[in-house]
Structure formats: C-alpha cells, structure tokens
Amino acid sequence: MPKQVDGTTHAGRFAPSPSGDLHLGNLRTALLAWLFARSTGRRFLVRVEDLDRVRPGAEERQLADLATIGLDWDGDVVHQSARLPLYDAAIARLQRAGLTYECFCTRKEILQAASAPHAPAGAYPGTCRNLTDAERDERRASGRPPALRLRAGTDKFTVEDELHGRYTGTVDDLVLRRGDGTPAYNLAVVVDDAAQGIDQVVRGDDLLSSAPRQAYLAGLLGLPAPTYAHVPLALNAEGKRLAKRDGAVTLADQAELGQTPADVLAALARSLGMAADGEIVTLTQLLDRWDPESVPADPWIFHG
C-alpha cells in the first residue's frame, strides 16, 4: 500500500505544453501521475506550461481529453505565463548570490562546443563563464541579446527515483532566462513545483536526465526537491517516440475508429498490466489495483 501523506500540503501534477493534442502516450503518463497522487492522498494538479509555442485551442482539447477518460484535478488550472513575477524573483535571488552570468553563445556554437571530446554529453561547456568585462562589452556591442545562465558549483547531482532508484546525472550551467527574456523551463518548473506544494513529480523517463539539474537548482533557491517517478514512454513500432504520423494516436483518432473513452482507458490499463484482454475497467478499479512497483520497466510499443 503506497504511503499516505497530508493532501492539504502535498500534491502531484500533470503539466502539458499546449503545442498540440495529447496522444495516447501523454494520456498514459497523465493516468500514471493521477494514480501515484490519488493512491497516496495527494492533491492532483494540472499546470499548463505555456512559455513556449502555444497552438490555439490545444489547451482546451487537452483538458477535455483528460476529463473524457475520467481524470479529475484539484483547484484551477495554473498557467506559467501568469507566473512571471515568481520566476523573476527566483532569478534575482540567484543574481544577488553571484550565481549567474550572461551567455552570448548561439545555438550552433553551443552544439559545437558541447560535442567536443572533453564535454559531458549534452552539457554546456562554460564558454561564457569567465569572460572579462571587455569581452562581455564586445559581445553586447554586437547586438546579440544574452541569455542568463546559472554558475553551477558542481557537475553532478544525485536524486532518488521511485522507479530508477538512485540516479546521478550531469549538472551544467543551465539557462535561467533565454535571450528573448523568457524564463527557461528548468527554472520555471522548479519554482512552480515548490510554490504549488508539488512534492511528487511523475513524468516520462526522457526527462530523467533533467532531474539532477532541477533538484540541484531547487537547493540553491532554498526550495525542497520533489520525489520523482520517471515512467516509460509510449513508442511506435520503430522504437521512436509516438507522434501524429503513427496513426490513430489521439483520443479523437480513436473515436473515429469507434473506440469509446472506456475502450481507451482499458487499453491504457492493459499497457500497464492492470487489465485483462477485453476487460473494461473504471478508475476506481485501477486505484484499487494500483501498485507502483508493478509499473512496467519497458516502454509501451503502440501499433497504430
């Protein structure tokens, strides 16, 4: 039986980006996040991460799809675009502590530097970390707006994951604010989770490598890091991440094939080993059957 917590102060969440419709893999992750939260007495929150590309109508369809398969959430949906003062305050705190610097690198320059033999995979190599005042002035004069990076004090950090155990990953001088002034994902998610009382983060295992960076950043800001559960993704028959081109991958696509929301929920449950072939199940039944230790370790291969 999962450990119960105080639901007034503890929460889990699902945080989609409104860039398109949710596919079945997204819905499966949302279901898992809901089960993790509800089984432990946590609130379940929905946060729309809309600092990047927003497609008109996507948010409304995403929320409708979650509700259609029966998932409920607590309180109002939160939007990152309405929380900019929180991010600015966190960045200001890091600036006062001398933990930031301007970065003038282009995306191409970063990719080239990060692919150098001595650079950790995917890590920013610190190209602009120790620029002199004259060098910074020269780069500013070029007209290129700088991003703001964290001056990290370590290159590794360890987190605990409910499915992966102890995981040690790379920490680099991650971007806090992009050159266009937009707060970066890694900062926003850390600030939001702490501000919302989210102490359980369930998301796709493609984000596992981000957890050490985020937990380290939380510590620098004096914020508690959540517990993590990075769950396997849904992949297509070629072993690549599920996408629209892979067939009937959305709830609307499934409806056109005659599949009801109950049929879709049953398919998601079967993919988790929580329902028999042909069995229609309710969320109440899934909650009764829920055992986090039974979450499959391998991705779900969807044959659309």
Q: What is the CATH number of the domain that holds 143?
A: 3.90.800.10
Please state, for a pLDDT cut of 70, what percent of the chain lies above it: 96
What confidence score (pLDDT) does residue 81 get? 97
- Per-residue pLDDT of 236-275, as tens digits, reads 988 888 877 778 899 999 999 999 999 999 999 999 999 9
244 as an active site residue: the answer is yes
Q: Is 117 a residue whose pLDDT tops 70? A: no
CB contact set of 118 (below 8 Å; sequence gap of 6+): 125
- Per-residue pLDDT of 227-237, as tens digits, reads 999 999 999 98
Number of independent structural domains in the chain: 2
Assigned token pair, 4: 């119960």
pTM exceeding the 0.85 threshold for the entire prediction: yes
Q: Is 169 a residue whose pLDDT tops 80? A: yes
Going by C-alpha positions, the residue among 248, 302, 268 that lies closest to residue 28 is 268
Task: Return the minimum-mean-pLDDT range out of 2-16, 107-121, 182-196, 257-271.
Answer: 107-121
- Does 255 lie in the same domain as 240? yes
Q: What is the CATH number of the domain that holds 30?
A: 3.40.50.620
Going by C-alpha positions, the residue among 4, 98, 96, 14 that lies closest to residue 49 is 14
120 is in an annotated binding site: no
**CA–CA dist 43, 229 (Å, integer):** 16
162 is in an annotated binding site: no
Which of the following is catalytic: 3, 108, 156, 244? 244
- Per-residue pLDDT of 172-224, as tens digits, reads 999 999 999 999 999 999 999 999 999 999 999 999 999 999 999 999 999 99
244 is in an annotated binding site: yes
Token match 């898992």: residue?
A: 32
Helix then strand then coil, % of the chain, to nearest 5: 40, 20, 45
- Does 102 lie in the same domain as 26? no
Tell me whether residue 227 is in a domain. no
104 is in an annotated binding site: no
- Does 76 lie in the same domain as 55? yes
- Does 112 lie in the same domain as 145? yes
